[in-house]
Chains A and B, each alone.
Chain A
Amino acid sequence: MKTSRYNNLVVQTPEGVQFTNQLASPVSRCIALAVDIAIIWTVMSLVGTLVALMQWVSYDFAMAFYTLLYFVFNIGYFILLEMLWRGQTIGKRMMRLRVQDMHGLKLQPAQLVLRNLLRFVDSLPVLYFLGGAFAVLSKRSQRLGDLAAGTVVVRLPELALPVLNELSKNHFNSFREHPRLEALLRQRVPPEEAELALQSLRRRDEIDPIARTRLFRELAAHLRERVKFPEEITASMSDEQYVRNCVDSIYRAAK
């Protein structure tokens, strides 16, 4: 197990396989915590209204009930939800975070109890300053409770399987009218370049707009050098569209 400079936790299994978990940033954890605290506050406010009604029966009993419930709910909310939802609370679900064992193993109930009991120290002196400071300074973004319990908070990756035909779906490719040039393109573009163009298209929405424009300009220029398609169909075509047509022409034949 090691941490990289990209704030990842790399776990190596006994079989020698490595997998990476992206550690949650202190800011996203802070937002998740704020959501959870807001939920606790809201629920207790509603319970407070009910308790106010119970006062008509017995003020003493109503106040005792509220005091105990407030305490149990404050501590139990995190422990119970993290046990039931495999390391998640409502706030963590919203932020796509999860508590996980530091070594990638299944969470033990004792770990969840301990990390949540130590919130008492992490929240010192106010607003989780101590825990937050530790999370910022720690290599694995662990607060004190995480250190003691051997847990980390990770970001959940998108689990969707890659879709193979998303690029050509509902897409008209004017290059198809020139099968000879398409064949030439497939012959002249090596697999590495084709893959590079394909991945650029797949990840285009993750790229900064200026970098995206520059990337596709360079790719299109490179592909134009490989094969020249007629001016009348490429004149009004954007660089990204040009690359997309090329990728479709190459991979359509490979299927």
Chain B
Amino acid sequence: MILDVQKFITERRPDWEEFEAMLRHLEDDSRKYRFDVGEVRRFHYLYERIAADLTKLSAYAVEPQTRSYLESLVARGFGEMHGNGRRLPLVRSLINLVTAFPQAVRRHFAVFLMVLAIFGTGMVFGGLALALDETAKPVLMPFPHLLGDPSERVAEEEATAADADPMEGSKSTFSAFLMTHNTKVAIFTLALGMTFGIGTGILLFYNGVMIGAVMMDYVLAGESVFLAGWLLPHGSVEIPAILLAGQGGLLLGRTLLFARGRKSMGQRLLEIRGDLVVLTAGVAALLIWAGIVESFMSQYHEPILPYAVKISFGALQLTGLIAYLGLAGRGGENSVRET
């Protein structure tokens, strides 16, 4: 069939222009334009006509410009008709996050148990390694302020605290640094899930080794109370947050590795995408809180702040976090997962 392209374009052009104008309305999110039923029908009718025009023209290879134009119209129309994503409803997402976060954690609880196993193994390894070979300290916890004798550090910190506020003039900066640094580490831990979870596993194990070694060092030096008072207030939120980021990473790795029925990788990733974003947002919120606590509370020791207060605060906080993750949003697990 020889198509009279000039005539074809002239005749069909009004429909194309009308459809393009409707697309512009839909695509302009700032107007929040919504079609009425008549306009929806007209949009669908024009989409089908233009799709038919494209099919007709596709058989006629010498008109690339018009074909590209029609392809772009069909592509945009297809996205508008079949996609349901609008602009991010920020306020609603933040409110939903309160329940969606613990729901996502519980939905993949088996993965979280795996995270605990890896991290726990690292802690045991780090603790035992330090107990058996104290010279391994620089390797196990390569931070200058942790390499000295714990008892000396405790004495020094308490003496400084007795004289003046050790964080005077730097609380906000330190807090901001902790928030951003820890959030970066958490995102990185999750993102390393793309290495089939291997990178996430290594990072979790390594963090476990460091924390296990630090704890063993202070326990052997008889400074368990200082350790609990120092770590619990912020660690009771910060460490679970990193573990939850690890949960996201291992979830991503597991999704890449295992087919789970006959689903394609794209389908599997689509299913967990919403949960990964919710986990990241929840972890970031926890780390912001942990940063504030670490800067404004954890760095203050006796005599400024009694250890009993710090330990009680940390223990209560941990209990509250466990209760929140275990109980919040129960019964609403089947609601919409994409935020």
Chain A interfacial positions (CB closer than 8 Å to B): 11, 13, 15-21, 59-61, 63-65, 67-68, 70-71, 83-84, 86, 100-102, 104-111, 113-114, 117-118, 120-121, 144, 147-150, 156-162, 164, 191-192, 195-196, 199, 202-203, 251, 254-255
Contacts and interface: CB of A to CB of B under 8 A. Distances in A.
A160 B9 CA distance: 13
Given A59-B169, A107-B85, A120-B191, A84 B51 contact: no
B71 A20 contact: yes
14 contacts: A13-B74, A19-B72, A64-B176, A67-B176, A71-B179, A71-B183, A106-B80, A106-B83, A114-B277, A117-B277, A121-B192, A148-B252, A159-B72, A162-B69
A118 B192 CA distance: 8
Interface of B is mostly: helix
Most buried by B among A102, A110, A191: A110
Given A117-B187, A117-B190, A192-B2, A11 B78 contact: yes
Given A19-B72, A251-B6, 15 more contacts: A19-B54, A20-B71, A60-B173, A84-B87, A104-B82, A109-B85, A109-B93, A110-B273, A113-B280, A117-B190, A157-B69, A157-B72, A164-B10, A196-B62, A254-B6
B191 A118 contact: yes
- List the 4 shortest-distance A-B pairs measured between CB atoms, nearest first: A106-B83, A64-B172, A64-B176, A105-B83
Nearest to A199: B62
B179 A68 contact: yes
Contact of A161 (B16, B64, B79, B82): B16
A110 B10 contact: no
Nearest to B16: A161
Nearest to A163: B65
Nearest to A10: B71
A44 to B, nearest CB: 13
A64 B172 CA distance: 5
B85 A157 contact: no
B74 A17 contact: yes
A18 B55 CA distance: 8
B54 A17 contact: yes
B338 interface: yes
Given A11-B75, A84-B87, A64 B68 contact: no
Contacts of B9: 161-162, 164
B176 A68 contact: yes
Contacts, number: 168
B68 A158 contact: yes
Nearest to A206: B64
Interface in B158-183: 169-173, 175-177, 179-180, 183
B93 to A, nearest CB: 8
B214 to A, nearest CB: 25
A83 B29 CA distance: 10
A71 B179 CA distance: 10
A149 B269 CA distance: 7
A255 to B, nearest CB: 7
Most buried by A among B58, B82, B170: B82
A109 B338 CA distance: 9
Interface string B276-288: 1100100000000
Contact of A105 (B72, B79, B269, B338): B79
